[in-house]
Structure 1
Amino acid sequence: MVSRDGSRPASAEQRLKELGIQLPTPPEPFGIYAEAVQAGNLLFLTGMLPTHGRGAKFIGRVGAELDVEAGHKAARVAALNALAVARQHLGSLDKVRRVIRLGVAVATSGDVREHPKVADGASELLQEVFGKDRNPSRLVYGVASLPLGTPVELEVILEVS
């Protein structure tokens, strides 16, 4: 990953500044679980939702109450929350060596076929921050419902130093 001028490697924290992205306050748990668990050099994040504070920022199913574009935006918000949790746990996103896995559950009306376009909302943000060379493997699937009525839930696994 290089900075915009191409002269030096840009850290994840530098990229956030360059992109004008301010991470939200990490979401509080909605149940009994840890938001991040580190095992060796892997950091597993709990299911990340498109929330702000204690509520859902997006509610509905893609193809019913929401269109694909709204689902895409919801996935980006969930990814911002994931980065906020990772930063809180690690102290800095510069400790992320690679995004290993991105799982994206999309709540749909059942006849939606554009799950990848929804998931790209999260993938694009991770690529902007960490670089294309750190793109994760990805699994995208449709479900009938998700916690709080949100349209997406992310599973994120990071390799950290």
Structure 2
Amino acid sequence: MTPEQRLARLGLVLPEVATPLAAYVPAVRTGNYVYTSGQLPIVDGKLIATGKLGAEISDEQGSDLARICALNAMAAIISVAGELSAIVRIVKVLAFVASTPEYTNQPAVVDGASTLFGEVLGEAGRHARSAVGVPVLPRNAPVELEVIAEVR
């Protein structure tokens, strides 16, 4: 089954690439690698949640937001690689989770993104990862994701 078929089976559609918030591009390809800029949980051009994990945002909400970031990252990757089937492997995911000082469940939140990469890309979606707690993200977003992907 192709990644496109898996995505459809999940009832998901890749969004349009999110418009950058400042002077950068959503993704850059160099050789066989694509580096995405930070992807926020933006749907139809709007940030769909604000706040911090451990305060306004629950773990479940955070995980869902991380999935949206992953969808946006895949859209950014295919904007320079052509199609999901061009992804050889998600190499590295760097996730930032806006959270209160005592909050320590960042890895579980980021599992939302990691699980989606696996569901869509199969073995190629397994990756190295960092999940970092931070005090604030752009526009008060709860989650931000950067991805490095190897492509054909």
TM range (shorter): over 0.9
**Partner of 1:78 in structure 2?**
69
Query: Is this contact kept in 1: 2:73–2:147, CA < 8 A?
Result: yes
Q: Does 1:131 align with 2:139?
A: no
* Correspondence for 1:142: 133
* CA deviation after TM superposition for structure 1 residue 18, in Å: 2.0
Amino acid at match of 1:48: Q
Q: Tell me if 1:62 matches 2:47.
A: no
Match of 2:148 in 1: 157
> Structure 1 unaligned runs (5+)?
1-9
* CA RMSD between the two structures: 1.1
- Deviations along 1:45-85, one digit per CA (max 9) or x if unpaired, are 00010012332111100001111111111101111111111
Change over 3 Å in CA distance of 1:87–1:150 after alignment to 2: same
Mapped to 2, the partners of 1:53 and 1:21 lie a distance apart of 14
Paired amino acid for 1:56: L
Question: Which runs of 5 or more residues in structure 2 are unaligned?
Answer: none
Q: Does structure 1 conserve the Cα–Cα contact (< 8 Å) formed by 2:90 and 2:124?
A: no
Per the alignment, in what secondary structure is the counterpart of residue 131 of structure 1?
Answer: helix
The alignment-based identity, stated in percent, is 39
1:9-56 superposed Cα distances (whole Å, 9 cap, x missing partner) = x22112112222111121111110011111110100000100123321
Structure 1 residue aligned with 2:15: 24
Q: How many residues align?
A: 152
Q: 2:82 aligns with which of 91, 94, 107?
A: 91
Runs of 4+ in 1 over 3 A off after TM superposition: none
Residues 52 and 134 (structure 1), Cα distance of their counterparts in 2 relative to 1, 3 Å cut? closer
Query: Which structure has the greater CA radius of gyration?
Result: 1
Pair 1:104 & 2:123 matched: no
* TM-score, normalised via structure 1 length: 0.90
